Structure 1
Amino acid sequence: MLEPLVSVVADEGLGLLLDAPVRRVAGECVPLPFADTLEESVLPTVGRVTRTVRDLTAY
């Protein structure tokens, strides 16, 4: 299985060369619920990604 790019950057110590910390936006580490409303709460959303990008650009 291929490692996500952020894992390689953080593991290889390249994160020290970055101006901001490495951040991940992923689904929660829980079993995927069957109900649509609960599923939406554990999957990454546009809002979460946007919020993370804005936090990092303001760093």
Structure 2
Amino acid sequence: AAGTPRSVRLADGDLAAAVRAAAPVPVAAVLTGRLPVDHRHQSKVDRVALARSATRFLAGR
């Protein structure tokens, strides 16, 4: 399901390099995957769920 740790993964090397080259600050990890949406607004990203998924992924859980 969108927003679960399984939906988050590391970007491939080319994408990660492009993001790091374009970013004005250091980027430790570039994550890709499906964005969780707020069930009330199917076009609005559920930022809390996204943060939770990214945190779990980066912690190795």
Scaled to the shorter chain, the TM-score interval is 0.3 to 0.5
Q: TM-score, normalised by structure 1?
A: 0.32
Highest CA radius of gyration, 1 or 2? 1
Greater relative CO, 1 or 2 (CA 8 Å, sep 6+): 2
Higher percent of residues as helix: 1
Q: TM-score, normalised by structure 2?
A: 0.32
Higher percent of residues as strand: 2
